[in-house]
Structure 1
Amino acid sequence: MHGFDYSWQDSENDDQPAPPRPADWLAAQAGLAVELADAALAAGRLEARLSLMDATAHAGATRRLALVEIENMLRAQGTPLSREEIGLDAMAARAGTDLGAMAQARWALRRLEGQSDPNRLRDFLALHRNPDHADAPWSDRPAGAAFDAAAADFLGAVEGLSGLHPLARAPAARMLWRLAALSPEDAGIEAAVWAARAMARAAPGLAFLPLGRHGRAIWADGGTPERRLSRHLSAVAQGAGDACRLLDRIAGWADAAQAATAAIKGRNPARVIAALAAHPVLHTAQVEDLAGISRDTAERLLSRMRHMGLVREITGARRFRLWTAAV
């Protein structure tokens, strides 16, 4: 990209917002060095927390954090779905909810779990999967060559911000995303997911960097680079801290559940607890497989643990029951 020749800019429209200037953002970053260090430290702590897990537990923790993140992203854009509803859909026990919002949630879950390269925007936004190159059902974004030009200019502009730390680059990138009109107004989740994945370059052990409920204050933020960056770094530090505490609560739940079921003979309760600690949502057959027990034993233990207040059954169905730790 050369100068300010953005494909999405109208040279005759003086009211159009100016793109972010790298020098302004570098100055803001320099003035917020302490805040950037705090955010990077929080991200590093979360990365270290997940690095202690085996591959199965790591994937389960990533999904658990992703469900929380998507719940907050959808709430921020005005199409709320609970993490339980999103989890139900992911397990093919679909709730009767907003189909457009659920399609966005399904896409976001795959991306936050690491699917697709954020630098290949057609793939990342799943545009290539639709017949006749049509966009996703919720989209009215630029199409065809116009989208490709806007996407190329967006990525070029982000590269122009390469002097910024990956955590500090995200708010400027979100601003560029909106200027490029890469998403329709009712799909703000797309820019938020892209930024979450891009920030993880600062912590390669993470698939994405979670902001949680703190993201709702900044995903559509405005103001000067200093204001945007300050609020963003605060959200990063708080979001990563909340994620660590959630994982700590799961570990604490597992310890408490072990103590509560100590009077039940055998190792089967411990195996069920380990499975539910490693995965945010499981159906009975998965508990059976992961714990290496019979279906009858799984159903009996899950029912007993539900009466003990240790697990929750979140479907209410008799034939396809989904379970989660009662954290």
Structure 2
Amino acid sequence: MPGPLEEEPDDLPPGPRAEPPETAVVNDWAKAEGLHAARLARVAGRLGALDDRLQRGPEGWRHRLALIEAADLSWFAGDRVSSDRLALWVSMRLSGAQDDPNALARVGWAARRLIGGPGPEADLAAFLDRRDPETIEDSAERLQDRAGGWLDVMAAAAELHPVTRACMGFHLWSLAGLGHHGDQIEAAVTASRIAASDGSGAIFAPLAMGGAGGLRASSSPAERLARWLDGMNSAILTAMRHLDEIEAWGSRAEETTSQLSGRTPMALCSALTEWPLVSAPMAETLTGASRTAVQRNLAWMGERGLIREVTGQGRFRMWRVAF
């Protein structure tokens, strides 16, 4: 009987080990970041300037920009919720017969997450306000697993700039199985919070103000990052111009209303700074003043060119600041 076969020694050098899939993905985005380093530095500088300005400015500025961004994101995603409808929904949970309640819920969620609260990387499922149904098939992939896979890739990209990581996370959203009907808004809001994660004044990085061009899909990571940076640059500039206008209006309103007594004029100015559009019932709720006092002061401010009525109706009127 022949003896047992002896294994021949393996003298070949070890071959390259297969990289984890997230490593290959991150490497592609790292190359894209290096390719657009100068453009990234310029956008990061502008985001830093916005962060500093919001940190020094009144709290109402952050709230105002968040509502504008949420409304613009809804148009990008196809929900088309206007600023006035969003303001009524967020402030008083009011909606019209023609409003889509699901669309309002999605854009309302976006506004809340852009206004503040914990970021997405601490607990993505909680950030999305989503949970698996109580009855789920054993073969179905759970949300926690899908979210965990996406977070693993984001963690592997920790060395990348937050703006690059945000872009990568946005474009990997659907591939991670996180998408459903509202996935475009969810992905964009999540990315905007990640992009601003190093700041203390800006809760989010604007993406949709100025056209949402950076959110359009393209082919390679390099092309996607280039489009992302251009879109974010445009959105930040739009946000800064808006802050210029609201700051100038605030100074003019303070000077004009200084002759008035009582707290209602000042409270109305704060509400108009915080909200892009204000109705009389909203103003009554936000200021704590009576309906009569609110309407009298709104009329007075309108006569002096501080605000303008935008609906042209006798009822259900809305006012905004007159820049």
TM-score by length of 1: 0.79
Contact 1:174/1:192, CA 8 A, preserved across alignment: yes
Aligned partners of 1:162, 1:298: CA distance in 2, in Å?
50
Q: Find the partner of 1:48 among 43, 47, 52.
A: 52
Correspondence list, 1:25-40, <5 A: 25-40=29-44
User: Against the structure 1 CA distance between its residues 288 and 203, is the aligned structure 2 distance closer, same or farther, given a 3 Å change threshold?
Assistant: closer
Shift of 1:220: 3.6
Aligned partners of 2:179, 2:269: CA distance in 1, in Å?
40
Q: Could you tell me which residue of structure 2 aligns to residue 205 of structure 1?
A: 201
Aligned partners of 1:284, 1:162: CA distance in 2, in Å?
44
Q: Could you tell me which residue of structure 2 aligns to residue 279 of structure 1?
A: 274
Q: Does 1:325 align with 2:321?
A: yes
My pick for the range that moved more, 61-70 or 300-309, is 300-309
User: Against the structure 1 CA distance between its residues 221 and 287, is the aligned structure 2 distance closer, same or farther, given a 3 Å change threshold?
Assistant: same
Q: In the TM superposition, what whole-angstrom CA distance separates every residue of 1:125-149 from its partner, at most 9, and x where no partner exists?
A: 1124x97479xxxxxxx99743222
Q: Find the partner of 2:144 among 143, 148, 155.
A: 148
Shift of 1:90: 0.8
Unmatched 5+ residue regions in structure 1?
A: 7-18, 135-141
User: Against the structure 1 CA distance between its residues 66 and 20, is the aligned structure 2 distance closer, same or farther, given a 3 Å change threshold?
Assistant: farther
Aligned partners of 1:317, 1:122: CA distance in 2, in Å?
45
Shift of 1:185: 4.7
Secondary structure of the 1:44 match is helix
Contact 1:288/1:295, CA 8 A, preserved across alignment: no
Q: Could you tell me which residue of structure 2 aligns to residue 216 of structure 1?
A: 212
Shift of 1:118: 0.4
- C-alpha RMSD of the superposition: 3.1
Q: Could you tell me which residue of structure 1 aligns to residue 91 of structure 2?
A: 91
Q: In the TM superposition, what whole-angstrom CA distance separates every residue of 1:265-291 from its partner, at most 9, and x where no partner exists?
A: 5476862564245421552324644xx
Contact 1:277/1:325, CA 8 A, preserved across alignment: yes
Unmatched 5+ residue regions in structure 2?
A: 1-17
Contact 2:305/2:322, CA 8 A, preserved across alignment: yes
My pick for the range that moved more, 274-283 or 264-273, is 264-273
Shift of 1:81: 0.9
Aligned partners of 1:193, 1:230: CA distance in 2, in Å?
19
Q: In the TM superposition, what whole-angstrom CA distance separates every residue of 1:193-251 from its partner, at most 9, and x where no partner exists?
A: 10011111132322111123346222242221221111111222221221111111011
Amino acid of the structure 2 residue aligned with 1:307: E
Shift of 1:296: 4.0
Q: Find the partner of 1:22 among 9, 26, 33.
A: 26
Q: Could you tell me which residue of structure 2 aligns to residue 123 of structure 1?
A: 126
Q: Could you tell me which residue of structure 2 aligns to residue 178 of structure 1?
A: 174
Give the paired residue count: 297
Q: Could you tell me which residue of structure 2 aligns to residue 306 of structure 1?
A: 302
Q: Does 1:236 align with 2:222?
A: no
Aligned partners of 1:215, 1:178: CA distance in 2, in Å?
22
Q: Could you tell me which residue of structure 2 aligns to residue 10 of structure 1?
A: none
Amino acid of the structure 2 residue aligned with 1:29: E
Q: Find the partner of 2:246 among 238, 245, 250.
A: 250
Amino acid of the structure 2 residue aligned with 1:195: A
Contact 2:170/2:191, CA 8 A, preserved across alignment: yes
Secondary structure of the 1:205 match is coil
TM-score by length of 2: 0.80
Aligned partners of 1:182, 1:225: CA distance in 2, in Å?
20
Amino acid of the structure 2 residue aligned with 1:114: G
Q: Find the partner of 1:113 among 104, 115, 140.
A: 115
User: Against the structure 1 CA distance between its residues 45 and 170, is the aligned structure 2 distance closer, same or farther, given a 3 Å change threshold?
Assistant: same
Aligned partners of 2:69, 2:24: CA distance in 1, in Å?
26
Aligned partners of 2:286, 2:303: CA distance in 1, in Å?
17
Shift of 1:161: 1.5
Correspondence list, 1:4-19, <5 A: 4=20
My pick for the range that moved more, 268-277 or 189-198, is 268-277
Aligned partners of 2:64, 2:147: CA distance in 1, in Å?
30
Q: Does 1:163 align with 2:159?
A: yes
Contact 1:20/1:176, CA 8 A, preserved across alignment: no
**Largest Rg, 1 or 2:** 2
Aligned partners of 1:115, 1:132: CA distance in 2, in Å?
26
Aligned partners of 1:3, 1:74: CA distance in 2, in Å?
38
Shift of 1:152: 0.9
